[in-house]
Amino acid sequence: MSNYGGMDYNQLFRERTKNFSILIIRSMASLPYSDDVSIIRKQIIRSSTSVAANYRAVSRARSEKEKLYCSGRN
């Protein structure tokens, strides 16, 4: 892979997805509590952290077969 500003693309994207997840968690924490908002908040947090976790899993895969397994395309 090519480098972006001296940083490996995989490392750059790992940091971006991690920072995105942290930003979402912090912004969701500031919402007022209600049952409706709580359900939506949990789902948004799960979705954003899932993006980061799935990218990390796929980028650590040792083979193409393992990448497909990690991404759920088996």
Render pLDDT for 5-45 as a digit per residue (tens, 0 to 9).
656 777 888 889 889 999 999 999 998 889 999 999 999 99
Write the CB contacts of 48 (distance below 8 Å, at least 6 apart in sequence): 20, 21, 24, 25
C-alpha span between 49 and 43 (Å, rounded): 10
Q: H helices within 1-74, ranges in order?
A: 9-29, 35-59, 64-70
Domain that holds residue 28: 3-70
Instruction: Give the pLDDT confidence score for residue 4 in this predicted structure.
Output: 56
CA torsion 66→67→73→74, rounded to 10°?
-10
Looking at the structure of the chain, the number of domains it has is 1
